[in-house]
Amino acid sequence: MKKYKKIVRLKPLDQKRFKFLYIFFLILIFCLFGRLVKLQVFNASDLQRRARLIQSSKTNSLKKRRSIVDRNNRLIAYDKPLYKLWAHPKYFKFPGDSINRVRSIEEVTKKLSPILDINGEILSGKFNNKMSGIKLLDRISEEKAEKIKTLQISGLDLFKYSQRYYPQGEIYSNLIGFVNDENKGSAGLELHLDNKIKVFNKSNYIKRGGDGTPLPDNSAPGDFISDYKSLGLTIDSKLQKSSFNALSKQVSKWKAKKGFAIVMDVNNGQILSLVSVPSYDPNKFWQYDSELFKGWYSQDLFEPGSTFKPINLALALEEKVIEKDGLVEDIGKIKVGGWTLFNWDKKGNGYIDYPKVLQVSSNVGMVKIMQNLDPSIYWDWLKNLGISENLETDLYESTAGQLKRKDLFINQSIEPAVASFGKGFSISPIKLVQLHAALANGGFEVTPHVTSTFKERISNNPKKQFFSSEVSKTVLKWMESVVDKGSGSGVKIEGYRIAGKTGTSQKAINGSYTSKKVCSFVATLPVNDPKYVVLVVIDEPSKPYAYGATVAVPVVRDIIESLIVIEKIPPKIKDHRTIVKKP
């Protein structure tokens, strides 16, 4: 059976309906075109700005400072990330709250107090009825800050900042210094090497695609790499602590004004330990007198006294005005230019050789020795040693020593006479260390320094030679006799060859000498292969019988004992055979 298709007759379109559709779509096209014009012309700059905010982000670095570490990478100073918590009660909302709901201060403090470990009432009291811009707390740890973030409370803002922290406290304070509340170096290396410690990271924009993928841009290589370098020191923290404890104990025992101790490598000027007492806690610097922030070991001057006698003997040998095996008569006093000069004990020692001059610390013997040297040549030597010049170092800015004018030194015989036993001129303790290092290393000048990078600045400079190798060895051997037989015997350690010289000088105040003293002792070891110089200076010990031998020598001994262990210095005997312990 055949199927027939149904025929549908077409009707003409309703004219009204057609006009309606035509007008509707025409209006729609005009609206879309108008919208396009508005977006592309009138709102273009605003949309572009908003797009950039979404597509790019700015990387801002904190005002950070490099960590400071010792030669074994032990932390001495570092930046600790902390947070400040600000509150805006009028915006307080918990996650899921409606737009119009505002949480109370009590509700927020109830959640905060367990995290901050602060009583809720105390925390609520910080708001003082203010509704915005309230600083609740600072120095919040990262751990607590993360817990606050997880609360997701609107109206709480955490501001991240860096705070300098010194884990070893007062042991390093006189060397490292501290930074103030604005994170600026204010004392010690933090101030003196501020530009080397500050981290100069740039703020940069990074472009991202819709899925957050970084897009290629014009950033230079390394623009987004953080600076994680540390400032390395030559200091050994174990030796630093040992030196600090030994010095503190002696300064307290003798009720002294202050004390200083240093250990330095005589061959390259690297400082292994540098401490001074009294000290302070750099983490709480605001609690201390600003006088403690001064690096007096390089900024204050003192008359070196008898610790300078070995230097003078080296000058006399260099100018060949004395022979190594010569003698000098010491009757206990000598008259020079109308002044009578005495030995420290006002006793004579008869005819003595030069090692004995050092052993008994004979002032009279030194005056007679240096009288053989022309005053003009003597002054030139002191000038050449850099007595009156600033010492280049990476420590505090050093103070130049004081040396009398040449015409005064030449024409007044008393001046070279008192200079022969370390009086009439002044130097910093750090300068005295440098000169004794030269005596120990064969006569060469070295630059004291505490930073590992400082050697790069001085490596290209030719070494200045103060003394010949032969003279240095001779004087060092004479200084060894001071430890074996003289005033430095308290530092003697079996199996080790140590050279040294004590010093006890009166302090001059307003041009007149007083009863106040500066006691010192300088030691070099091991004599068979000199590597270390140790200097201890203790200012104004107030008990009776205060001398270099009684006040400074015990500290040096304690330091050397620690140095031997830390540096693993093998024992030697004078015939250079190594002591071998039987199993």
What residues are annotated to the active site?
306
Give dist(CA 455, CA 270) in Å, integer.
9
How would you class 486 by CB atoms within 10 Å of its CB: exposed for 0-12, middle for 13-18, buried for 19 or more?
buried
Under 8 Å between Cβ of 490 and 555: no
Element (H, E) at 352: strand 350-353
- How far lies 145's CA from each of 85, 103, 123, 142, 557, in Å? 9, 21, 16, 5, 50
Give dist(CA 193, CA 460) in Å, integer.
21
- How far lies 27's CA from each of 15, 18, 23, 251, 466, in Å? 18, 14, 6, 97, 100
Tell me which DSSP letter residue 549 carries. Answer: I
Joined tokens for residue 186: 């204010």
Give dist(CA 484, CA 497) in Å, integer.
9
Tokens 């093998």: give the residue. Answer: 570
Mutual angle of helices 237-253 and 553-566, in 10-degree steps: 160
Closest CA to 434 of 304, 277, 294, 575: 304
Which residues neighbour 526 within 8 Å (Cβ) at sequence distance 6 or greater? 496, 497, 498, 569, 572
DSSP for 153-170? -BTEEEEEEEEEE-TTGG
- How far lies 550's CA from each of 262, 362, 516, in Å? 18, 18, 16
